Structure 1
Amino acid sequence: MHDTAAVEYPSFPYPVTNYQEDNRGQFHFSSRGGWMNDVNAPLYYRGVYHLYYQHAPNSLVWDTMHWGHATSTDLVHWQQKPIALDPGIHPGDLWSGGGVVDTGNVTGLKNGDDDPIVVFSGTNGVQVFYSLDGGNTFKTFADGKKVVKPNARTSRDPKVFWDPIAKHWGMVVWSDEGGNGADFYTSENLLDWTFGSRYQADWLFECPDMVRMPFEGGYKWVLSDGSGEYVVGDFDGTTFHPLNRMQQKINQTDTHAGGGYYAALTFANLPVKDRVVSMAWQGENQGTIWTGNATFPVDQRLKRTPDGPRVVSTPIPEIASARTSTRTWKDRTLDARSAKQLLAGVEADTYELEATVDVRDAERFGFRLHTSPDGWFDRDVVYDAKAQTLDGTALKPDHGKVKLRLLVDRGQLEVFGNDGDVYQSHNVNFDSLPGGNGLEFFVDGKVHVESLTLHELGSIWKTSGQSTLSTDIAGQWYPASGNWTDVAGGKQGQAGGDAFYLSKASGSDFTLEGDVKLVSGTAAALTFRANKDASRHYTANIDADAGVVKLWRPGRDIATHPLAIERGRIYHFKLTAASTAIEVWVDGTLMIDATDTEQSAGQFGLNVFRGTGIFQHLHLTPGS
């Protein structure tokens, strides 16, 4: 037995991150930067949940794979950690895989107080990596020698599990030997593996999971693939025996790689006996420095149905730790008109919605999410009482009632029906800009609302990262256009044309101060009295090409003052606005004193034009 010598890991590659980008999930995990895809080796060890994942840290698209790493003490609030597996240190294709905690030291690798955490990766054969510091850094076992030799043209995605009846470890690996299917292996020590059997199924494509679940006083095994298709059966220690070869789906959406649900895995070594927790990859969401996120964790269990045992999924109860406020409506009989009035005036950005509705007199009902005063909404969720479907998925009422539970985040929507009989995960770019946070209940026919509860959910990132922009301007910031990132000197904007970074806070009369540096290109500026997409605004800039300080708005240059602008130098701006009067001061000198009647109030922000600018130390004083 030989392992590579410990190698010093590269420095932590992530800059300080602004988690308030418009479509960045506020309670769904996403990597601080770079590309994220499949969930890898989720596990629990000594009070900490570890989430590893497929990761390209310096790319917004799939690239050379690393294993990213994040930890949590409650499965809700996550903290980014340095990369766990790095291709500059660890050999082989670091593609998807699973992991376990070797609590009995069957590997013999233990050297200190921590139990070895052993993870499995590699394509066309399986490699082993192990951690002796609680899952933070990993060594390569046997110089990367493959502990499972390839027996097919293509194989990948090993998942390891404990079989308490056979009292040995099992491994399931996807391969294309004779078509799609899963190969099963067994081991006493996690390092030496013996082929056991093969389960052939055309539907079973990559990222398999194998998990044991309680069922009616006993246990069954669930074998699933990357798209969440699964069969339930028995496992005799080497061979899987399905109860029915017709597969079901864990998540009732169009699941595929890069879609709203893919490559889910269940956590290993959980502290609660028989608890099954799963997370998946959502791939249709991205921001300026990141791509992809994870689904919110769900508890899974087996339920008896006329078609046999089925997997049902519900949000983990730990979600309560993210709730910031709760409002409840009870015992309401509603028609179309009164339903529309029920939530009038309610606004929420990120939230959990629970409803129990009697549908015996209804044709359909549902919720319109992120509505605006002009009637626009970003997404609706509809229960069709006649067809007995929830967003197209079959869902029969239970004694005439339907339960809905929605998780609404910045770029994610998860829908649950009747305590998990329906589970749907979507990436939705919800418009969390000002004026678009309404919520509407709608009814065709008549319903009786037994209860309706709205829990607003706060950001899980409050202690995990913040923008490098120092400002006392209240309200969340978002990029209205252009590329905005956090750098050591402050907030950096880059664009080939105009780009705006705006706060949701607004004002009418005020004094606004801030430091502006034009790094390269034409102009950098402070913006004020803007609307939410900056199609209307006032902007005061330094323009290096024209050699001026300029106050402008769309359609009009209001005033200019000559000034030789040095790129790379910091200029201190002070802007005062009182009714129609606007003053622009630069480095303590009054440059512009003008009047304009176009915009009386609006949001604050930053602007770059055909170049790169860095902004810092924004200070706002209300009033003149």
Structure 2
Amino acid sequence: MNSFPYAGTNYQEDNRGQFHFSPRSGWMNDPNAPLYYRGVYHLYFQHAPNALHWDTMHWGHATSTDLVHWQQRPIALDPSIHPGDLWSGGGVVDCGNVSGLKNGDHDPILVYSGTRGVTVFYSLDGGNTFQTYDGGRKVVVPAGDSRDPKVFWDPVSQKWGMVVWSDAGGNGVDFFTSHDLLRWSFASRFTAGWLFECPNMIRMPLDGSYHWVLHAGSGEYYVGSWDGTAFHSDWTAPQKINQTATHAGAGYYAALNFSNLKGDRVVSMAWQGENSGSIWTGNASFAVDLKLRRTADGIRVVSAPVPEIDTLRENTRTWKNLSLDSKAARELLSGVRVNTYELEVVVDVRDVQRFGFRLHTGSGGWFDREIAYDARAQQLNGVALKPSGGKVRVRLLVDRGQLDVFGNDGEVYQSYNVNFDGLPGGDGLELFTEGRLRLDSLTIHELASIWRPLGEATLHTNLNGPWYAARGQWADVADGKQGKSPGDAFYLSTASGADFTLDGDVRLVDGVAAALTFRATKDASQHYTVNVDASANVVKLWRPGRDIATVPLQVERGRNYHFTVQTAGSNIKVSLDGKQVIDAVDTEHKSGQFGMNVYNGTALVQNVSVR
């Protein structure tokens, strides 16, 4: 059984990023098997849930519907359940069931992990829980030390490919191919000194044709071709996706792209290892779209924040068509106070020697970070960036513990962990210039937190909520929402209804009753509730002041009971495990909120949906 070993948090700890994902608690490193399935983005990641340093690896799990707002889920791979070293790896959605593993409505999701050989795990419930394939037998065993398998699809050869790092004969990768995702054949080896750890192979379009990008954990890459068995490139030196120090534990490492995206979109996330706080260590980089672009220096990978960032924007301010000397530039933003924000600027640099921004300024002239463009050296933050038509574009994402820098629509991409001062008075922003600055446009978007509202971490529900406790103690556990109370306690959604079909699973852990609640007032003083009652061994539909109907049932603790409630005016029908058991009439409550109930003990509720 997968676990959810996390205490509650409001994600407001000092230095906690507000739009960069970090785990509720514990250690995080490499992204694993990012994938898209039925409207949901899944991000798995290297995780030590009970430590603030690298420890026995699990696969943590978070999901999003927009690549921006992330919700932590129960642990996906646990070494107490899943065998082997659960180190970094990739995953795919088997939409065609070539593996033959499908059993039910969901397409199989296969993930690959392990050291000194590759182990397969598969999910038949949409990526929430995983089984071990063939007892943990390694389906691939490269020579030498090896780890970090990544699987990709080649539509030309109509085969799956796997790239695995190994040190046999020096740094490099072994390629394997398969038709069914389970039986793999060695295809070729590609060696390069820079090709260390966490390899990735991505098919990317450019000018009507396709190229393949092979990159390492450092983000160093070659552009080349794939003939179905081997990677070829005429490059003699790698380029870098992220132009910073990119080693394990730095502000960018071990990026992977999401599999199963529609069309040719490539979305990538990396590990940022220098961010930490009182209860967590490490975060994920903000998601970026990767594209190929022809430049004066050849084909390059460019990066830009995913456009879904628009959903966070609020309180936008814009300045246009200004000519500024150093004094006017310094005064332009003197009244601006921002904490988490996005900044976009277009500058004509033909009359300027140097310009930039000082971030998180305070009284006395101090600041936390300076981002500058040197027009003489044609460098943005120390990285080559040539003007286009005499102009440069700079874009910054400034979070509490992270800073992302983009130049000319992604030709420069840098990501950092920065411990920005969180004290009052340190939220100023300054524009500076050496020489006259011709400002085409400057826009600042304040960015809302991705953590509010938090939503439900482990309760599967289509009710948007928010949910709240109306008496009792309620906690997120791996199997859903757990309630505990010596008397009646309720957990309610703000969503309400009159006539509907309500479904949900209840499980009595100990005590007397576990239940679904509907047509409730906001304090649950009035409601309808249907429960399994272990003291009387019945299914009961009741409201305060009246037991409407009871049906005998030998109630078993620890067993899931599935309720379906159908309401039409005063008529209430209740089915238990697919069989109708109650057909009653009561005119007391015509509409109200949905929720759950526990009485005199502990209960679990899961899979609450309304249609």
TM bin, normalised by shorter chain, reads: 0.7 to 0.9
Is 1:9 matched with 2:2? yes
In structure 2, distance between residues paired with 1:259 and 1:58: 22
Q: Which residue of 2 aligns with 1:213?
A: 204
TM-score of the superposition, structure 2-length normalised? 0.74
Among the aligned pairs, what percent are the same residue? Answer: 71
Counterpart position of 2:112: 120
1:346 aligns with 2:336: yes
1:110 is matched with: 102
AA partner of residue 270 (structure 1):
L
Residue 414, structure 1, aligned to residue 407, structure 2: no
1:203 and 2:194 equivalent? yes
Tell me how far apart the structure 1 counterparts of residues 2 and 412 of structure 2 sit (CA, whole Å): 43
Q: Which residue of 1 aligns with 2:377?
A: 387
Matched residue, 2:452: 462
8 A contact 1:352–1:405 mirrored in 2: yes
Question: Secondary structure of 1:118's match?
Answer: strand
Q: After superposition, what is the alpha-carbon deviation per residue over 1:168-194, rounded to whole angstroms, capped at 9, x for unaligned? A: 100000000100001100000000000
Distance 1:286 1:134 in 2: 31
The 1-side partners of 2:157 and 2:234 are apart by 20
Q: CA deviation at 1:153?
A: 1.8
1:269-284 paired onto structure 2 within 5 Å: 269-271=260-262, 273-284=263-274
Alignment partner of 1:180 out of 171, 189, 207? 171
How many residue pairs match? The answer is: 458
Structure 2: 5+ residue stretches without partners: 457-473, 476-611
Which whole-Å CA distance do the structure 2 matches of 1:104 and 1:420 have between them? 35
- The alpha-carbon deviation at position 306 of structure 1 amounts to 2.9
The range that moved more, 16-25 or 180-189, is: 16-25
Pair 1:378 & 2:368 matched = yes
Q: CA deviation at 1:433?
A: 1.7
Give the 4+ runs in structure 1 shifted more than 4 A: none
Computed over aligned residues only, the root mean square deviation of the Cα atoms, in angstroms, reads 1.1
Q: Tell me if structure 2 keeps the 8 A contact 1:16–1:465.
A: no
Shift of 1:215: 1.0
- Answer yes or no: is 1:296 the counterpart of 2:286: yes
Letter aligned with residue 121 of structure 2: F
Pair 1:429-2:419 in alignment: yes
| Partner amino acid, structure 2, of 1:418 | N
| Aligned residue type for 1:235 | W
Residues 255, 271 of structure 2: 8 Å contact kept:
yes
Q: 1:39 aligns with which of 31, 53, 76?
A: 31
- Residues 10, 451 of structure 2: 8 Å contact kept: no
Q: Give distance in 2, aligned partners of 1:37 and 1:240.
A: 28
Deviation at 1:465, TM superposition (A): 7.1
Does residue 165 in structure 1 map to residue 156 in structure 2?
yes
User: Which of 128, 134, 140 is the equivalent residue of 1:142?
Assistant: 134
Contact 1:22 1:431 in 2 (8 A): no
Match of 2:63 among 59, 71, 74: 71
In 2: Cα distance, 1:424 partner to 1:118 partner: 32
Equivalent in the alignment of 2:441: 451
Q: Aligned partners of 1:265, 1:345: CA distance in 2, in Å?
A: 40
CA displacement at 1:245 relative to structure 2: 2.7
Deviation sequence 1:417-474 (CA, Å, 0-9, x none): 00001000000001122110000000001111100000000100012279xxxxxxxx
What amino acid does structure 1 have at the position aligned with 2:51?
Answer: S
What secondary structure is seen at the aligned counterpart in 1 of 2:283?
strand
Per-residue deviation, residues 563-608 of structure 1 (Å, max 9, x unmatched): xxxxxxxxxxxxxxxxxxxxxxxxxxxxxxxxxxxxxxxxxxxxxx
* 1:473-499 CA-partner distances (Å, limit 9, x unpaired): xxxxxxxxxxxxxx99xxxxxxxxxxx
Residue type of the alignment partner of 2:30? D
1:84 is the counterpart of 2:76: yes
| Among 95, 109, 123, the residue aligned to 2:87 | 95
CA distance in 2, matches of 1:152, 1:414: 38
The secondary structure found in structure 2 opposite 1:327 is strand
Match for residue 564 of structure 1? none
- Which whole-Å CA distance do the structure 1 matches of 2:366 and 2:412 have between them? 27
Indicate conservation of the 8 Å contact 2:2/2:77, yes or no: no
Q: Which amino acid aligns with 1:147?
A: V
Aligned partner of 2:375: which letter?
Answer: A
Q: Which amino acid aligns with 2:446?
A: E
Q: Is residue 2:345 matched to residue 1:355?
A: yes
Name structure 1 gaps, 5 residues minimum. Answer: 1-7, 467-486, 489-624
Q: Secondary structure at the match of 2:135?
A: helix
Are residues 1:228 and 2:225 paired? no
Counterpart position of 2:275: 285
Counterparts of 1:162 and 1:240, CA distance in 2: 14
Paired residue secondary structure (2:311)? helix
1:214-248 residue CA offsets vs partner (Å, 9 max, x unmatched): 01110000000000000000000010001313100
**Contact residue 234 and residue 243 of structure 1 kept, 8 A:** no
> For the residues of structure 1 that align with 2:155 and 2:437, how far apart are their CA atoms?
49
Give, in whole Å, the separation in 2 of the partners of 1:411 and 1:50: 23
CA positional deviation for 1:330: 0.3
Q: How many Å separate the matches in 2 of 1:263 and 1:243?
A: 24
SS class of match (1:137)? coil
